């Protein structure tokens, strides 16, 4: 749904279906009911997640025609695509497999190129749109620095090839499409700071001569085009875990001119160990589920930070009195506490306040994909959960909210 602060939507990665046939059935089941309750009189925007398998099927002209026809009759539109998980996002075990294939491979490049073809076909006339994507690769795929550097360089090569493709689309069709890179703990670009360093010291130096050769761009125009098409996906949960929702984030966005492709509206799990250490560690165990990675950043009383690849590792290590943990576990955005635990809702409200004061993106996409792996007491029906999150976001974007 369009608001004065951007399109409000949610990501369909919460819905099952790796094949297009299965995913479309899920969307037909849920989307009309959600639209009726949340946006009965206005077109409803969709943040579409497509696996590689689904993207191949949807690229068939008859299948794409049927989907677009359905969107029109239901008064819906696609405003963004989630291209982070290539496939198997609802498998029994996902973990670091969500990064495969990474940006060092032709498979990731071709998948993303196909997603841009589909997004260009589906976007409303006059709208720009983005495809979200992983932070290049996973930090622990390589056991030595030489291989890591080589992988990162290959990743950057395919990002630049995507940039070239997007510039060609703009020249041909006057449509702005952008790749939204999503920092996540333990990714190559695990933090916003990592993203900025890579962008300024690796991406731009490699891209400028290539854009000069391909299009005759001078340095200034090459930088301008790179920043138009290669953007930052601001996942609030991820940046709350890495303690980066602060004034530095917004000042660096202004300094660098890196654009925000979308806000992924999300909250992380937060644990205060000021008391009851063993009791809280025990209560955390149901969150240590086997499907997704739940990286942890622990801050000790003296300010020292410790990072853990997954929640189980952090629980095994234990906690000290006064520590605070932030856990990459997407929890419902409408709650600021969960019994003994807290959320990073405060950071989310900070980002929404900045978006209202100085709008820096046109898409606000809720991304709580962990409903089916939350501990049982926190689970409610999927339809009710999605509507409650959309209503919470809409309320907190209202002008009455400061």
Measured CA to CA, the distance from residue 151 to residue 65 in angstroms comes to 38
91: helix, strand or coil: coil
Q: In what order do the strands lie in the sheet with 305-308?
A: 305-308, 296-299, 324-331, 267-272, 341-343, 337-338
Picking from 145, 247, 155, 151, the residue whose alpha carbon sits closest to that of residue 192 is 247
> Quick check: 116 and 165 in contact, CB under 8 A?
yes
pLDDT tens, residue order, the chain (402 aa): 999 999 999 999 999 999 999 999 999 999 999 999 999 999 999 999 999 999 999 999 999 999 999 999 999 999 999 999 999 998 889 999 999 999 999 999 999 999 999 999 999 999 999 999 999 999 999 999 999 999 999 999 999 999 999 999 999 999 999 999 999 999 999 999 999 999 999 999 999 999 999 999 999 999 999 999 999 999 999 999 999 999 999 999 999 999 999 999 999 999 999 999 999 999 999 999 999 999 999 999 999 999 999 999 999 999 999 999 999 999 999 989 988 999 999 999 999 999 999 999 999 999 987 666 566 666 678 898 999 999 999 999 986 665
Query: What letter would DSSP give residue 40?
Result: T
Rounded CA-CA distance 249/240 in Å is 11
User: Strand, helix or coil at 51?
Assistant: coil
Give the per-residue pLDDT at 368.
Answer: 87
Say whether pTM exceeds 0.85. yes
The torsion defined by the Cα of 32, 334, 306 and 279, in degrees rounded to 10, comes to: -120
Distances (CA, A) of 68 to 10, 59, 107, 177, 361: 19, 12, 26, 19, 25
Structure tokens at 29: 């089941």
Residue 235: CA count within 13 A, CB half-sphere: 29
> How far is Cα 393 from Cα 9, in angstroms, rounded to an integer?
10
């Amino acid at each position: 749904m369009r608001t004065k602060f951007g399109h409000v939507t949610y990501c369909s990665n919460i819905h099952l279906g790796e094949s297009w046939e299965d995913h479309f059935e899920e969307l037909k089941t849920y989307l009309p009911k959600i639209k009726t309750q949340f946006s009965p009189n206005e077109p409803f925007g969709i943040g579409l997640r497509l696996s590689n398998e689904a993207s191949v099927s949807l690229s068939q002209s008859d299948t794409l025609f049927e989907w677009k026809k359905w969107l029109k009759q239901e008064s819906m539109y696609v405003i963004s695509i989630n291209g982070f998980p290539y496939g198997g996002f609802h498998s029994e075990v996902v973990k670091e497999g969500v990064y495969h294939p990474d940006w060092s491979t032709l498979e990731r490049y071709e998948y993303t190129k196909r997603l841009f073809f589909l997004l260009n076909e589906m976007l409303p006339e006059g709208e720009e749109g983005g495809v979200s994507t992983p932070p290049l690769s996973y930090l622990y795929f390589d056991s030595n620095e030489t291989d890591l550097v080589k992988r990162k360089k290959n990743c950057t090569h395919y990002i630049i090839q995507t940039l070239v493709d997007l510039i060609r689309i703009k020249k041909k069709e006057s449509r702005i499409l952008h790749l939204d890179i999503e920092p996540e703990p333990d990714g190559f670009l695990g933090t916003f700071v990592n993203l900025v360093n890579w962008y300024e010291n690796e991406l731009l130096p490699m891209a400028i001569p290539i854009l000069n050769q391909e299009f005759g761009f001078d340095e200034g125009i090459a930088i301008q085009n790179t920043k138009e098409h290669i953007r930052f996906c601001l996942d609030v949960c991820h940046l709350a875990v890495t303690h980066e929702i602060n004034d530095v984030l917004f000042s660096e966005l202004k300094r660098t001119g890196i654009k925000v492709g979308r806000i992924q509206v999300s909250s992380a799990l937060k644990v205060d160990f000021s008391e009851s250490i063993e009791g809280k560690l025990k209560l955390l165990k149901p969150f240590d589920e086997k499907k997704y990675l739940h990286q942890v950043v622990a801050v000790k009383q003296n300010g020292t930070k410790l990072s853990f690849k997954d929640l189980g590792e952090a629980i095994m290590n234990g906690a000290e009195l006064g520590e605070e943990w932030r856990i990459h576990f997407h929890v419902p955005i409408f709650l600021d506490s969960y019994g003994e635990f807290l959320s990073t809702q405060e950071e989310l409200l900070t980002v929404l306040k900045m978006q209202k004061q100085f709008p820096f993106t046109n898409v606000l996409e809720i991304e709580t994909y962990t409903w089916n792996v939350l501990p049982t007491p926190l689970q409610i029906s999927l339809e009710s959960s999605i509507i409650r999150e959309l209503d919470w976001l809409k309320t907190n974007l209202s002008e009455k909210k400061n």
